[in-house]
Structure 1
């Protein structure tokens, strides 16, 4: 099921490798990583992205694969040190996020931050959770009319209230990268991308204990959502019920994700959406159909229509049925190569499944040194 060579991303700059606590070895993104597997005698090589981004503190900047690849976060800003778990005040995460200047935000403390209201993130910010274990609860992050934001290595759990999402990206935000975060148990969505927000990458995240996981495109009246472009790759959707994602209008590229045991469907295409699903693993539980299509009428159209999912080299296991595009539906479909030349994708193997189970979400990663002169 797929090309064993895949596409390999090559970059200039510092490259490193590391081994995390689970024993999985990360190699440079133009090489493969050796993944130990107790279930296979001949362990294959798995290509993984981003091996070099922990080589120095700001090596994350502009290194996302896919539509969010231009996000530089707080590359050109000073370091801001979070020294308190308080919701607000000097040294708090909220204080750093509201400042207008570029900042690279790091944590000097681990623990839970109870948010009494949405935490608004302004442009040119990196929220970098490496070296600590920070959990956000109560409410979530709101990326509103901002650009160039990177969120890395945080946990989101237990958001409460109507319309409370873990990460809410709206309106008119762009160049966003959400990487290596764990998200679970919010009253609304875990990540919502709506109202004209675009050029976003979600990578290496772990989603669990949730119903409406990820919404892209708000409703049929918001025709400006035709601009939305999102890449979701190397994520683990772990028994979440639906919306992996649900899409209206947008162009979405899914690759090398592992989605298992959904409660309604895995991926849903609605009005005018174009979803390119490539080398993903879909493992059904009781509900067997992976792809669902909903018909809705855009505000400026006379006829209701659905979206389209193109499945290329996906792996459907444990009796999973893909779910076909409705017969006779006219559709257009983008190809990722029209927008970015290279990305790290490999075949959907058991070894890929094992590494995504262990190496997505928050990780115990040391904070790299901040090289002088990088900013």
Structure 2
């Protein structure tokens, strides 16, 4: 779930701002060898089709300002991927997500990206994709923000494990995230002014919400529960949310289930030994508004990568 990947002895590829051809992001993404991809210049890459990325790739936007538009990135049956410091905006077409993770992809880290205005989702994680971290990302101008677990018929999605931390959901309408079957650890995120709900737990989902800030706008209901019937079960079931030290502002209503149901939600310590949680506060809220999404950052000089 929460992971840090360091690729040693990687070939470093500098890519240019074109959709395809030698030296482009698309060409680098489909190469089979491990590759740390950096950018020679800033600019916008207008993708005419999904950009597929194979295993053992780091796409590192530090040092430049890179925006992807038109379509998005697809992670299909791959592992050990880092996507860092990119902007995604204006994806058009049926089933077009900013970052689409399916099927059977794992060990993926999406860090400090800005995502907005796609025709489908901003990040979708489905079809047995697992062990994924989304951190320090900025989400805005969108309806169905993040779907985790696609459909009640995909019972294999019970394997899904995702961590989302230090992200800012800025007025996105719903699905921050919506989860089916899997387990999601949410901590130190700031979600404000949602249009329907903040977080939805459906068919057998388990959400551990820890030290997040939920600031309501017109709609006050924070947690939503939808009942659906898994393909291998006789009765419909909802998901569960466990809230620990969350901060609810501007009349946000937790809408938590009472009784023993919270005890049925996993604890993150079952999957990783430590993580650093900050108290939800006005200070954290201010930091989240300026330190999430794309940042003007230099590339580090270690591992042979020049600034």
TM-score calculated relative to the size of structure 2: 0.97
Q: Which residue, out of 46, 57, 66, partners 1:134?
A: 66
Match of residue 196 from structure 1: 128
Q: Which residue, out of 110, 113, 128, partners 1:178?
A: 110
Pairwise CA distance, 1:325: 2.0
Match of residue 11 from structure 2: 78
Cα distance in structure 1, aligned partners of 2:165 and 2:260: 30
Q: Which residue, out of 202, 222, 233, partners 2:154?
A: 222
Q: Does structure 1 residue 69 correspond to structure 2 residue 3?
A: yes
Pairwise CA distance, 1:324: 2.0
Aligned residue runs from structure 1 range 85-124, under 5 A: 85-124=17-56
Cα distance in structure 1, aligned partners of 2:138 and 2:2: 18
Q: Which residue, out of 228, 235, 244, partners 1:303?
A: 235
The verdict on how the C-alpha distance between 1:331 and 1:156 changes in structure 2, with shifts beyond 3 A counting, is same
Match of residue 150 from structure 1: 82
Deviations 1:294-329 (Å, cap 9, x if unpaired)? Answer: 000000000100010000000001011001227786
Deviations 1:126-156 (Å, cap 9, x if unpaired)? Answer: 0000010000000000000000000000000
Cα distance in structure 2, aligned partners of 1:250 and 1:136: 29
Instruction: Work out whether residues 242 and 262 of structure 2, in 8 Å CA contact, stay in contact via their aligned partners in 1.
Output: no
Pairwise CA distance, 1:283: 0.2
Structure 1 unaligned regions, length at least 5: 1-66
Q: How many corresponding residue pairs?
A: 305
Instruction: Work out whether residues 207 and 242 of structure 2, in 8 Å CA contact, stay in contact via their aligned partners in 1.
Output: yes
The verdict on how the C-alpha distance between 1:329 and 1:345 changes in structure 2, with shifts beyond 3 A counting, is closer
Pairwise CA distance, 1:366: 0.8
SS of the equivalent of 1:352 reads helix
Deviations 1:56-107 (Å, cap 9, x if unpaired)? Answer: xxxxxxxxxxx141544x544200101x211000110000000000000000
SS of the equivalent of 1:207 reads strand
Q: Does structure 1 residue 341 correspond to structure 2 residue 273?
A: yes
Aligned residue runs from structure 1 range 1-375, under 5 A: 67-69=1-3, 71-72=5-6, 74-82=7-15, 84-325=16-257, 332-372=264-304
The verdict on how the C-alpha distance between 1:372 and 1:182 changes in structure 2, with shifts beyond 3 A counting, is closer
Cα distance in structure 1, aligned partners of 2:190 and 2:9: 35
SS of the equivalent of 1:299 reads coil
Cα distance in structure 2, aligned partners of 1:178 and 1:295: 30
TM-score calculated relative to the size of structure 1: 0.79
> RMSD in angstroms over aligned alpha carbons?
1.5
Pairwise CA distance, 1:344: 1.4
SS of the equivalent of 1:156 reads strand
SS of the equivalent of 2:303 reads coil
The verdict on how the C-alpha distance between 1:289 and 1:128 changes in structure 2, with shifts beyond 3 A counting, is same
Q: Which has the higher contact order (CA 8 A, sep 6+)?
A: 1
The verdict on how the C-alpha distance between 1:113 and 1:355 changes in structure 2, with shifts beyond 3 A counting, is same
